[in-house]
Amino acid sequence: MIVIIDYNMGNVASVKNMIKKIGYEAIVSNDISIIKKATKLILPGVGSFDHGVKSLKELKLFDVIKEKILLESTPILGICLGMQLLTKGSEEGELGGLGLIDGFTKRFSKQILEKNLKIPHMGWNFIKSENETLLLSDMELNSRFYFVHSYHVVCENPMNSTAITHYGYDFTCMIEKENVYGVQFHPEKSHKFGMKIIKNFLELVKCTEVE
């Protein structure tokens, strides 16, 4: 069962519609009993880091998500803010994240401003593979994706960064650690390229064994 976590922080309908186009059905829910039954989880998100953490905790989903990922090896895909929430924390706020990826979310450097680039990073951009990942299986060359963000993830372990994008400097735009996946861009707004990412997550990603 594919469950899109609804914590009032993103356009979950767009993600659900793309999944339907691929040929699958997904449930949008913040019901703990439904989330506990999920075989795949998707955590989208738009907005501030602390607000996202607070919303998950108010709905009593924060610990449920961690249990599903760490104890049951349920695959999860974080999208935009959802990816950032997978980290330990963010310069945007004071609350701790889910901590499923060893890394931290940081604001774009002043180096970008010096190059007359605006923050947020908004619009279409290309990605470059860094480490092997199932999410990029059979992906077209020069695939481009839609971004809207002012913060990006910095991984402690370089192997957890599976793709980068250049905006003033290179930054991580895709992360992976065992059954935890994240994309900084919006696949649901990225047409055929985004559809391929979600299709690969749904069809290629399997549960990993947790020792």
Residues identified as active-site: 80, 186, 188
> For residue 175, with 0-12 CB atoms within 10 Å meaning exposed, 13-18 middle and 19 or more buried, which class applies?
buried
Residues pairing with 63 in the sheet: none
CB 160 within 8 A of CB 102: yes
Residues 6+ apart with CB under 8 A from 57: none
d(CA 80, CA 148): 8
d(CA 150, CA 108): 6
- Whole-number CA gyration radius for the chain: 16
What's the one-letter identity of residue 46? Answer: V
- Token pair of 159, please? 């192997």
Tell me the H-state helices in the chain.
12-22, 32-36, 49-58, 62-70, 81-84, 110-114, 191-204
